[in-house]
Amino acid sequence: MFGIGMPELIIILVIILIIFGAGKLPEIGSGIGKGIKNFKKATSGKLEDSPESKDQEALEEEKTD
Q: Compute the half-sphere exposure of residue 44: CA atoms within 13 Å on the CB side of its CA.
A: 9
Q: What is the pLDDT of residue 15?
A: 92
Q: What is the separation of C-alpha 42 from the centre of its chain, rounded to a whole number of angstroms? A: 11
Q: What is the pLDDT of residue 28?
A: 86
Could you list the mean pLDDT of each consecutive 10-residue stretch along the chain, which spans 65 residues?
82 89 87 92 71 62 62
- 25 in Cβ contact with 17 (< 8 Å): yes
Q: What is the pLDDT of residue 49?
A: 55
Q: What is the pLDDT of residue 29?
A: 87
Q: What is the pLDDT of residue 37?
A: 93
Q: What is the pLDDT of residue 26?
A: 87
